[in-house]
């Protein structure tokens, strides 16, 4: 499904009053059936390791949810135990917690891979989803083709080998459909833009003493390569907003209307979507300067050297999908695809399908 149908229209909620908005962490926020829902209903044993938006999912038997502490009184173990399968999370943390350094990489992926290997051997789930984040982190911090990113690819290859090794040890590899995929690529950046400064200067926002946005008439909700624009005060016309946005003219590649956003599957409640030109990305706050070079070495925060959130139609911005296993044509090559095609394809590979029509379709070319 596209985001405007499944409901997860951003990584984080629209909470401009918070410097660190809450993420979409919990499965209840998804409006449509998921891979785990369909598999569980069919009698499958399911497992998810740091898979996005799976917190408190009733359809996941062994769940280590992707979540982090976002309040001063919270810690990692507290929020993980609450959002995950508590007994399983505590058991795995007791065994492998020494591998982890908070949510820092590459230690986090070492931790998750160790749990994946253990789970394959001791729990034997029918459906296992593992989210490895090392490469994404290294590209954000150091750049798309940085040495650190290349080293992360080597580590990911090793982790995949560990998982395949566990499957072979349990004699299930030949009977398993294995998919390796990315949900985005990244583009190198040199400048971050904070469009809410433009709206604050117009008097369309008010801020508190910590420079959090406490009230607004027009708001920019950044998604790195793209940025939603929302309006509460209809007396502020489209032209007035577009005139204000001339302050970042030359740095924006495209401005999409609400109708275009709906057609793309994005949040149709927005007024516009901005897409940054390559080299630029957006942030939502007004705490830091209107524009900054990402080359800055800052002690208190990290600016992205590369990021995502751009239109999937942008050139040299494709990600990948590799699939192997029973019923899969090992010689098949599909030049183009969409992320929304992957869910229906994975279910088709194990003889299942979603309970209602989806925006995506089965990639039939990969099957024998």
pLDDT for residue 299: 83
- Band (130; pLDDT cuts 50, 70, 90): very high
pLDDT for residue 321: 98
For the domain made up of 3-185+315-366, give the CATH fold.
Alkaline Phosphatase, subunit A (3.40.720)
Condensed to tens digits (0 to 9), the pLDDT of residues 188-228 reads 999 999 999 999 999 999 999 999 999 999 999 999 999 99
Torsion of CA 292, 297, 302, 307, to 10 degrees: 60
DSSP 44-66: --EEEES-TT-BT-TT-SEEE--
pLDDT for residue 116: 99
Mean pLDDT of the chain: 97
pLDDT for residue 17: 96
For the domain made up of 188-307, give the CATH fold.
Gyrase A; domain 2 (3.30.1360)
Q: Where in the chain are all domains bearing CATH 3.30.1360? A: 188-307
Q: Where in the chain are all domains bearing CATH 3.40.720.10? A: 3-185+315-366
Mean pLDDT throughout 274-285? 98
Beta bridge partners of 321: 181
Here the tokens at position 47 are 């497992």
**CA distance to 96, 139, 152, 232, per residue, from 104 (Å):** 15, 14, 13, 38
pLDDT for residue 300: 82
């Amino acid at each position: 499904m596209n985001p405007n149908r499944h409901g997860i229209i951003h990584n984080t909620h629209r909470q401009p009053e918070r410097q660190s908005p809450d993420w979409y962490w919990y499965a209840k926020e998804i409006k449509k059936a998921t891979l785990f829902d369909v598999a569980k209903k069919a009698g499958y044993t399911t497992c998810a390791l740091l898979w996005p938006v799976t917190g408190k999912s009733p359809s996941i038997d062994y769940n280590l949810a992707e979540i982090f502490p976002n309040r001063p009184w919270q810690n990692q173990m507290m929020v993980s135990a609450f959002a995950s399968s508590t007994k399983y999370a505590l058991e795995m943390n007791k065994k492998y917690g020494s591998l982890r350094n908070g949510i820092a990489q590459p230690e986090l992926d070492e931790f998750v891979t160790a749990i994946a290997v253990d789970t394959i051997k001791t729990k034997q789930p029918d459906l296992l989803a593992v989210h490895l984040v090392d490469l994404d982190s290294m590209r954000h911090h150091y750049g798309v083709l940085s040495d650190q990113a290349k080293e992360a690819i080597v580590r990911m290859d090793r982790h995949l080998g560990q998982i395949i090794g566990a499957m072979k040890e349990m004699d299930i590899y030949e009977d398993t459909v294995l998919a390796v995929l990315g949900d985005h690529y990244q583009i190198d950046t040199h400048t971050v833009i904070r469009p809410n400064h433009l709206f604050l200067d117009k008097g369309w926002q008010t801020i508190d003493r910590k420079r959090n946005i406490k009230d607004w008439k027009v708001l920019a909700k950044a998604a790195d390569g793209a940025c939603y624009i929302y309006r509460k005060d209809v007396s502020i016309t489209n032209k007035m907003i577009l005139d204000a946005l001339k302050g970042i003219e030359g740095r924006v590649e495209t401005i999409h209307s609400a109708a275009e956003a709906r057609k793309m599957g994005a949040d149709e409640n927005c007024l516009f979507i901005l897409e940054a030109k390559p080299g630029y990305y957006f942030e939502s706050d007004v705490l830091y300067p209107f524009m900054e070079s990402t080359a800055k070495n800052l002690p208190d925060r990290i600016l992205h050297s590369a990021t995502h959130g751009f239109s999937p139609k942008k050139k040299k911005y494709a990600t990948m999908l590799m699939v192997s296993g029973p019923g899969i044509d090992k010689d098949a090559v599909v030049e183009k695809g969409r992320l929304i095609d992957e869910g229906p394809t994975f279910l088709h590979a194990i003889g299942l399908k979603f309970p209602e029509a989806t925006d995506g379709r089965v990639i039939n070319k990969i099957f024998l």
